[in-house]
Amino acid sequence: MHYFKKCSIFLFLFLFILLTKQGYAQVDYFQNFKESLLSYFPIITGKVIKLENNELTFDKGAKDGIKKGQRVVLFEETMPLIHPVTRQIIGKSEKIIGSAEVVSVEENSSKAIIIEGNINLPKENSLLFKIPKSKIKILYAQGNTEWAVGEGYYRELKNTERFELINAPVNINEVDNLLKEPQNADVVLLLKQSKQNGNIKLTQELYWIKDKKLLSRSETELSAVAINELRKKYASLIVPEGHTLLSFRLSRGVNRVATGNFDGISQNQILIASDNEISLYLIDVDLKLKSNYLIPIGGDILWFDTGDIDKDGKDEIIVTIKKDDRVVSSIIKWVGDGFVEISRINDIFLRIYDGSLIAQAYSPSEGFNGEIFYILPQKSTYQKNSILKLPVKANIYDFYIFGDTTFKWEDDGSLAVYNNKGIPLWRSQEPMGFGLQYEKQTGIAMLSLGKWKVQSRIKPLSNGVIVIEKKPLLGFVNASTFGYRSSKLQLLQWTGIGIEQTDITDEMSGEILDYAVSSDKLFVLVKPPFGFNPKRILQGESPFETILHILSFKY
């Protein structure tokens, strides 16, 4: 009896451990996708046994991993490679003579057509083919796919160690646009997402970059449970220990920050702007000034944007300024050894949105006036292109669209979420603060039509947006004249049934004026309460300052 008790206890413990391990086992939601992709790139070497016109016959077939659509390297072995010490033959050098694409497959053989090279079958029948073991370079584009889903698949592919993944620009959904910028890759991988019965259908398209030919298209379905798990794992934001890597005291007038590659060469570039000057710095262990640019028409910066809108590998600067009763937008570009204004347009607001330039007209009596439209800028004017259709009425700086949901700043400083029919789904309980406010001009003394407002920057990240939440000094959010006692950055993500709010930073004393995000750093510009730091007076220094915090950032 005692023996059976012991056996029962051991059996129970064994089953408990087994079930626990299974319960915590990591689920690979992308197994089918991954296997489909890997199946086109096995490491194979074989012989060409026949050449007729432009068609080759291989001695390898389906059982060896050969698959229709694969592309192989054609080569000949030449001189033997001899070990310099042992003098033993360790291999043969290879002469690449072309490439071919597999067009039909049998169990033990396959046929391919020559796509590159002038091929002749040697008399000794020594022509070989291979899918090399070197990593395949893939331009990875997650298109409209939710960030957490795209990031999860990206990491699964990276873990195979078969691919070198090159990130494509975010939110590009058209393969033609991707193929214009091959970035020295072999294949474009484009993910597409759509909803199906409450789940997400994910489509993977593979294209050969050389001739833009479709290699394969496959689909998989992710359940709501899978999506939530991926969000928990990959959509979280981490500022390790909340510690700032570097902080810099800047002049009071600095109020905008942005990152990018402006000269097409240097990495880790940061722009810091005041109302009349833009400074370009390189980031190392310190800020290293590279160039200064005086803004031709100084005034209040309403919007400051950067992006490669002409697709030449160098980011442009878009700046919209209010001076007196006018609004002027400039496009500034690095030319030669400095910045040059290449376009100046009056009475127009500009913004870079998903890699394209959008605009909205300005009027003194309304502020933002009329529809938002795509624009082709010229030196002093512009060509108006298609209208940007939104499910809700919004001004150019108020919104960001994620799939079927629109995040939008409201007039009272609160943030709301709408569906694609313009129906409100969520609204913040309290206002989150304002950017800049201006009186609508009536031309009649003592008659006010209210104010038009430029809200704080709203930026996409993961499957949500980053916003600044500000807390006023005196408890009145609209009384921005008195400033803000503290502020922080938040990530707001729509889950389908509600909003998940994640603090990116702790509460920072004063007002966050602007922020920028790179792949591993977060840049935050902060103005102290009342715009000055009284401690500086005791140190015999000017108390008026703005602080730039650089934080380690992973997402």
Domain that holds residue 227: 136-234
Looking at residue 362, its pLDDT comes to 96
Whether 323 is covered by a domain: the verdict is: no
Q: Answer yes or no: pTM beyond 0.75.
A: no
Whether 270 is covered by a domain: the verdict is: no
The CATH number of residue 111's host domain is: 2.40.10.170
Do both 71 and 147 map to the same domain?
Answer: no
Number of domains in the chain: 3
Do both 122 and 217 map to the same domain?
Answer: no
What are 449-457's contacts with CB under 8 Å, separation 24+? Answer: 449/365, 452/366, 452/367, 452/368, 453/367, 453/411, 453/413, 454/302, 454/303, 454/397, 455/397, 455/398, 455/409, 455/413, 456/409, 456/432, 456/512, 457/514, 457/515
pLDDT in tens, the chain (555 residues): 444 444 554 554 444 444 444 333 356 789 988 999 999 999 999 999 999 888 999 999 999 999 999 999 999 877 665 655 565 655 566 888 899 999 999 999 999 999 988 877 666 667 899 999 999 999 998 877 877 788 889 889 989 999 998 877 655 667 777 777 656 789 999 998 887 776 888 999 999 988 889 999 999 998 888 887 887 676 544 444 345 667 888 877 899 999 999 998 877 799 999 989 999 998 766 678 899 999 988 899 999 999 999 888 899 999 999 998 899 999 999 999 999 999 999 999 999 998 899 999 999 989 999 999 999 999 989 999 999 999 999 999 999 998 889 999 998 889 999 999 999 999 998 888 878 889 888 777 666 678 899 989 999 887 789 999 998 876 554 444 567 888 999 999 888 888 888 888 888 888 999 999 886 788 999 988 876 555 555 555 555 688 898 887 765
Q: In the listed set 131, 152, 180, which residue is the last one of a domain according to the structure?
A: 131
Do both 427 and 555 map to the same domain?
Answer: yes
Whether 399 is covered by a domain: the verdict is: yes
Q: Which residues pair with 140 in a beta bridge?
A: 167, 189
Looking at residue 203, its pLDDT comes to 92
Q: In the listed set 131, 166, 188, which residue is the last one of a domain according to the structure?
A: 131
CA dihedral 274→279→282→286, nearest 10 degrees, is -60
Do both 221 and 72 map to the same domain?
Answer: no
Looking at residue 181, its pLDDT comes to 61
d(CA 259, CA 242): 21
Whether 336 is covered by a domain: the verdict is: no
Looking at residue 180, its pLDDT comes to 72
